[in-house]
Structure 1
Amino acid sequence: MTLLWQRLDLPGVFDVHTHFLPPRVMAKVRAQFDSAGPLIGRPWPIHYRADDEALVGTLRELGVRRFTALPYAHRAGMAEWLNDWAAGFADRVPEALVSATLYPEPGVGDYVAARVAGGLDVVKVHVQVGGFDVREPVLDDAWGVLAEAGTPVVVHAGSGPVATAHTGPAPVAELLDRHPRLRLVVAHAGAPEYADFLALAERHERVCLDTTMAFTDFFERIGSAYPAALLPRLHDLGLAGKVLLGSDFPNIPYPYEHQLEALERLGLGDDWLRAVLWRNAVAIWGEPPAASE
């Protein structure tokens, strides 16, 4: 079977939104999905369950040439432990970007600065799970460091799948007013506030969207369908380098290939697909290492 990236004559795909976590943390995350916990809110049958070695092997078989770990902290004192683990994961897995997270706590500006100086590739901020406002003053130094360095920050700030006190576009818009040079990657294309987050990406030079779970049958069923009226603007944004492939692998309720099929059936053209699946991310992070044997 010819895969989409092969039909497009790409070397593979570049996925900016995958998760690898310490085993105990991943087990707790999966338990939340299995029980349809309060931040999940619906049945969510995880398709991929394996250890890290097997999951990395699956991505390689699918042609995913570059991917992330994207840890996220939900309490003080947790971020740097996760960051150490993610750095070790990147040392072991050549395709993995060096990922980190942050939390509004004393010293956050210092440890973010140290991670950036040490070669950080990407930061994950999960507003919903973390339960904090991106505008909290203690985060200001950290945002300044990341803006100055141009380090991409994958931020889950949309109100899906369950809205909380700090989700939605308004806090992110204010954060960008304070730090307009932040390179934010809005997870899930901002679902369900698609139009507002699309407008932020159009307005701010360094704001991008990722496709994570957007356009899939699962999102359609749970009421997060992407508005057809926005597709022409999404097309233009993708060709402008500002839409990136994301999947949420491995905690997805369908095979990985469905995310790619969902993008293809949008009908936005092969040039758009080549940009989203590969070229836009390569323009930010550079070419991946040679494919593993």
Structure 2
Amino acid sequence: MLPCYACQHSDAERKNKGFFRWKGENLPPLYEKDPSHIDLLEQYNIPFIFDIHTHFFPEYIMRLIWKWFDKVQWDIAYRFSTEKRLEELKKNRVSYFTSLNYAHRPNMAEMLNLWVYENCLQIPGMLAFGTFYPENGVLRYTKKAVEEYGLKGFKLHCEVSKLNLNLPELHSVFLYLEEKQIPLVIHTGTAPLKGEFTGISYFAPFMQTFPRLKVIVAHMGAAEIEEYANLFAIYPNLYMDTTMVFVDFLATGESVDEVFFLLEKYSERIFFGSDFPNIPYSYSHAVKSILEKNISKKTAQEIFYKNAIKFFTIREFV
């Protein structure tokens, strides 16, 4: 298991392998048995974390995803069974999280939606998300996921899926989701890898076509974070998540500290996200990379749980 990797390999070995750079000389722990961020949460009066960006797939697909990460020397801190991963989230004081997944080929998305319906709806704290893909029947099975399965949103990954958001085949789906106000988490940015259809040049016209669509831009749109943030003034239903942006692992860019001010400026439009379990550092590092910087208590509370509670109308708090 990967926690053992942290015991057997030095920081230098972790730092010098792989395609992505690290900031500084001392790497964060790959895994923490006792999370080191709990005291920080208490200092900021954050009772729990609402993590908008966590991944759950059928086990055989998750193993294939991990195999891809292995090929690019991207360590997986939480390479555990689903049951163990749920325990880790609870231990890290994560009370709410999402079942984000995505399809990279036809005839996959509908299967994933059914898997979410059959496996995720009864998990405490999990918000069930599905996905879709430009293919025959996409509007039909998207409606089914909402109206029959009760899924709360959808995830799209423009780089992995080689997905152009402006495809005519998806127009009716986006119109439906816009009408129903069902949110989308979209990996549309150019980091960590640029895709054929990633970036603001594809996303901006998409939002022009569907201006009322509820969209959460994953990874704050890295590596064009300010360009995406400029769209806040135009689209009231546009949001971002902080996934992997301010950590020492520089997959989302090497100058992200320059945009930390956006957390205060747009505190009501930004959610915390982690990319759990597929992160090459402990969960605490993702939390501390924000809370150990110059951030107000109000903004920290909004980003780590209040915004998402309001966005998803969690009944216990409304």
> Same fold by TM (over 0.5)?
yes
How many Å separate the matches in 2 of 1:222 and 1:80?
A: 30
How many Å separate the matches in 1 of 2:230 and 2:304?
A: 22
- Partner letter of residue 174 of structure 2? W
Residues 66-91 of structure 1 deviation map (CA, whole Å, 9 limit, x = unaligned): 00111100001100101111122323
Q: CA deviation at 1:236?
A: 1.8
How many Å separate the matches in 2 of 1:232 and 1:10?
A: 20
Calculate the TM-score normalised by the size of structure 1: 0.91
Structure 2 unaligned spans of 5+ = 1-35
* Aligned partner (choices 54, 62, 76) of residue 26 of structure 1: 62
Residues 117-161 of structure 1 deviation map (CA, whole Å, 9 limit, x = unaligned): 232212100000001201000100110111111111110010111
Q: CA deviation at 1:289?
A: 6.4
| Amino-acid identity (%) | 32
Alignment-derived partner of residue 236 in structure 1: 265
For the 8 Å contact 2:246–2:257, the answer to whether it is kept is no
Alignment-derived partner of residue 110 in structure 1: 140
Alignment-derived partner of residue 252 in structure 1: 279
* Aligned partner (choices 64, 67, 71) of residue 35 of structure 1: 71
Structure 1 unaligned spans of 5+ = 37-42
How many Å separate the matches in 2 of 1:261 and 1:227?
A: 14
How many Å separate the matches in 1 of 2:62 and 2:95?
A: 23
Residues 246-286 of structure 1 deviation map (CA, whole Å, 9 limit, x = unaligned): 00000000000111111113312111100000100001112
Alignment-derived partner of residue 5 in structure 1: 41
How many Å separate the matches in 2 of 1:28 and 1:96?
A: 23
CA distance 1:227–1:8, shift in 2 (3 Å) = closer
How many Å separate the matches in 1 of 2:61 and 2:306?
A: 32
Alignment-derived partner of residue 248 in structure 2: 217
Alignment-derived partner of residue 192 in structure 1: 223
For the 8 Å contact 1:127–1:155, the answer to whether it is kept is yes
- Partner letter of residue 231 of structure 1? F
Alignment-derived partner of residue 182 in structure 1: 213
Q: CA RMSD in A?
A: 1.7
* Aligned partner (choices 253, 258, 262) of residue 289 of structure 2: 262
Alignment-derived partner of residue 140 in structure 1: 171
Runs of 4+ in 1 over 6 A off after TM superposition: none
SS in 2 for 1:155: strand
* Aligned partner (choices 86, 101, 117) of residue 87 of structure 1: 117
SS in 2 for 1:67: strand
Q: CA deviation at 1:171?
A: 1.3
Larger Rg: 2
How many Å separate the matches in 2 of 1:87 and 1:113?
A: 13
How many Å separate the matches in 2 of 1:288 and 1:266?
A: 32
Calculate the TM-score normalised by the size of structure 2: 0.84
How many Å separate the matches in 2 of 1:93 and 1:79?
A: 21
How many Å separate the matches in 1 of 2:232 and 2:108?
A: 30
